[in-house]
Every structure is written in structure tokens, then in C-alpha cells.
Amino acid sequence: MRPDDRPTDELRPITITHHFTNKTPGSILIRAGETMVLCTASISDKLPPWMNPEELRGWVTAEYSMMPGSTSPRKSRDRNGKIDGRSTEIQRLVGRSLRAVVDLELLGQRLITLDCDVLQADGGTRTLSITGSMIALLDALETLPEFAGKKPGDEGFPVKDYAAAVSVGLVEGEPRLDLCYIEDSAAEVDMNVVMTAGGRFIEIQGTGEEATFDENQLAELLKLARKGIGELVELEK
């Protein structure tokens, strides 16, 4: 029995609020069960200093942080430029997941920064950050006249496909979709999967937690992830 009585192949209830704040062109509050993440997308014509200014392309990057009150006990703030290893790893994951579906040349000489701030954590914060950032990115691009009214896959639009992410795992030997914290902390196998709407993998992070898993179990977990990501993509659309 799952903590919230869901079937093993069911996502947590998801709500998406557009334009949650009004200072950035893309601002999404996305909630899955008890996990809440604010994802914003900012657009700048100032490229990263490491990029050659003569390159006719842009860049997409991400930052991730858990707010002090998002967990119990309280999480200390990152200060003086110091970011813990987990946050660094997750923000790199978010950035490369979105870049996988963005044509940086069609984007033009623009920097899009995706900020993912976890307001409340109950498992799946990294995967929800990716899904929320996808929507925030699309909202931000909608504010640019040359991209208004277009969607992923349209000619001339810099986003080639939708991307979404979800967690899966083996809990008490049972494959489960979209783990909450209680399940995640007890899972024998924990996996995060990032995919496109077209069914192509962007990243798979799978770990046996004091356990191992075989090829058949891996196939079951990937099948669950594909189902969940298909449903997430429909919400994005």
C-alpha cells in the first residue's frame, strides 16, 4: 500500500499556476502532491562570459535551491556563493535537460536562466523542476514577438520538442511511479528519468540503494517512467 493510496502506476495530483510572479516572463508554480517548486525563466541579451560574442547562438542555464522552510528540520541557506553538492548536481541536470530540446542557434544571442526554488519538498524535487522549467521556458519565449503563438516543433521555433521528468523506483520489490519522500527514502532502487515527448531519453539516473536490480526490473521501471512522462507532456501542452 502506498502512503497516499495511489495505484503503483499513477502520478501524484499535479497543479500548474502560470504567471505566479510578475517580474519574469516565465513564472510557474508547479505542485505534485506535497512537493511545490517555483520555476522562473528570465531572458537576457548578456551571454555568459565564457561564450564567444561572435557566436550566433544563445545559452540556457539553470539554478536550483531549496528554501529554508521547504524541509523539516530547516535547511540552511546557501551563502557567499557556496552551493552544496546536491544543488550543484541538480541545477546542472536541469540545464542540460532543457538544452537537449533547445536549438541554441534559433534562440539567437540570448541567455535564458531557469531558477528552480523548492518551496516544499516531499520527493521528486529535481524531476518536478525539469517539468516546471519546460513550461516556464515556453511561457518566456511566448513574450518574444518572433516566437509568439508557436509551439515546440514549429518551424523557426527554438524548442524542438517537449521534455519532462519523473521518478520511479522499487519499493518492497514493487515498481512504483512518482515516489513521495517516504517511498524514496525506503526504495531499494531509485531512478530519475528525463525524456522528450517523442520518446527519446535525455538522461537516466538509476541507483541500487543497498540492493541490485536486473534487466527485467529496469525495463519495468522505464515503462512506468514512459507512461508518467507521457502524461506530464500532455499537461505541458
**How far apart are alpha carbons 18 and 22 in whole angstroms?**
10
**How far apart are alpha carbons 128 and 121 in whole angstroms?**
10
Give the start-to-end residue ranges of the domains of the chain. 14-236
- HEC secondary structure over 73-127: CCCCCCCCCCCCHHHHHHHHHHHHHHHCCECHHHHCCCEEEEEEEEEECCCCHHH
pTM: 0.95
CATH fit for domain 14-236, picks 3.20.20.10, 3.30.230.70, 1.10.357.10, 3.30.70.141: 3.30.230.70
- List the pLDDT tens digit at each of the 237 positions of the chain: 799 999 999 999 999 999 999 999 999 999 999 999 999 999 999 999 999 888 889 999 999 998 888 988 898 887 766 778 888 999 999 999 999 999 999 999 999 999 999 999 999 999 999 999 999 999 999 999 999 999 999 999 999 999 999 999 999 999 999 999 999 999 999 999 999 999 999 999 999 988 999 999 999 999 999 999 999 999 999
